[in-house]
Structure 1
Amino acid sequence: MSTNKKISPELILETDRVILRPISENDFNDLLELAQEQEMWKYFALNLADREHFQKWMDAAFADSFAGTRIPFSIIVKKTGEIAGSMSLMNISYHDLRTEIGSSWLGKDFRGTDINRHAKYAMMRYAFEELNFERVEFKTDVLNERAKQGLRKVGGKEEGVLRSHMTMWHGRRRDSIYFSVIKNEWPSLKQTIFKDIEGYACH
């Protein structure tokens, strides 16, 4: 089974707290400035504190968007208009009715807030309710305890580890752990973990 509905490359998602809009070239400097905390990239495939790595990441995001397999978002704080970080709908498969929420990162001042939860809520709601997808998946470094805990907090179910899955920018071979939320789990999550979130819209 597949869906006839396709994601617009101009898709905008929002809640009462955040706006997710496609990354533009104009976001380059703001995002690069947010990325300057070196410790952020310990578990990331690229070191986005490095301008060359950051450009490579942006180029890949635009190429994947053009290919129709990814929508890379800038996360905007609604109240202030600040860019908080980035997150993507990626590895989109209309045939398999699934997508990944990934390439997720926030600047230091925005971590530990509810911005991550709002962004993931908007993306999951879009995937399950607008696209009628069956599965949303997430992956992270098996060593990244903070990220794993964060995925559990948004309802992700741990699935398993892909051993020696990726080469990191500093040369380590990363084992990746997968989490997922499937469609029949979404209504319960929406009424529990995400019950306080309002103002959802997609356009």
Structure 2
Amino acid sequence: MRIATVPLEDRFVRLEPFEDSLKDEVRESLDCDPEAWAAMVGSAQGEHFDGWWESALTAMRVGTRIAYAVRRRSDEAVVGTTSLYEINPAYRRCEIGSTFYRPEARSAAINPACKRLLLGHAFDAGAVRVEIITDALNARSQAAILKLGAKAEGVLRKHKITWTGRARDTAVFAVIDDDWPEVRDGLDRRLAAFG
């Protein structure tokens, strides 16, 4: 499995791999909604952005992450970020995460469009498993992940320590290669409904 670091796009979004020219747009898109950031493992808001950005670029250089700016095609605005990360070619698996959208971009087609592109890119590259994890307290995120077609696999207790110091339980979901045709078709139907 080799997942290429390339832009991905459909009629709703363009996912652009991080590079220096995107830094200011990404910073601006993430500098909002402190309540949402407080619940996340790491923060990229305000003073936390530069360290978060450098960490993403470092992981990209070593090949364990592809971090993307999410550009909304309707107005060309960067409205958030998402990543393929924990990329493990030996096990042909990765995760989708480090996802944050501006509040006005959290409904409609943005999330299913991003997930359709990321899942397709990973499975086309030979992945057999793509995980999507979230805070076990985040019911909204879990509902969105299930709506994508991922299967719930359980909860990892005290799995991560958040940037605020809270021991986080993590809800684990996955799509495996056997599931992908059905998940893909479901996402395509959802996206077609947006006209």
TM-score using structure 2 length: 0.92
Shift of 1:92: 0.7
Structure ranking higher on relative contact order (CA contacts 8 Å, 6+ apart): 1
Shift of 1:47: 2.7
Name the aligned partner's letter for residue 40 of structure 1.
A
Establish whether residue 159 from structure 1 lines up as the match of residue 177 from structure 2.
no
In 2, Cα distance between the equivalents of 1:96 and 1:66?
20
In 1, Cα distance between the equivalents of 2:163 and 2:187?
34
Aligned to 1:101: 96
In 1, Cα distance between the equivalents of 2:97 and 2:153?
16
Aligned to 1:73: 68
Q: Which moved more, 1:87-96 or 1:33-42?
A: 33-42
Instruction: Return 5+ residue gaps in structure 2 as ranges.
Output: none
TM-score using structure 1 length: 0.88
Shift of 1:115: 0.4
- Choose between structure 1 and 2: higher helix proportion: 2
In 2, Cα distance between the equivalents of 1:46 and 1:185?
30
Structure 2 SS opposite 1:192: helix
Structural RMSD (CA):
1.5
Aligned to 1:175: 169
Name the aligned partner's letter for residue 39 of structure 2.
Y
**Cα shift readout 1:26-64 (whole Å, capped 9, x = no counterpart):** 32332222222201213211232232x211111111000
Instruction: Return 5+ residue gaps in structure 1 as ranges.
Output: 199-203
**Cα shift readout 1:2-44 (whole Å, capped 9, x = no counterpart):** x3xx2333x1111111111101223233222222220121321
In 2, Cα distance between the equivalents of 1:65 and 1:185?
28
Establish whether residue 44 from structure 1 lines up as the match of residue 40 from structure 2.
yes
Shift of 1:102: 0.7
Query: Any conservation in 2 of the 1:16–1:197 contact (CA below 8 Å)?
Result: no
Aligned to 1:201: none
Name the aligned partner's letter for residue 167 of structure 2.
R
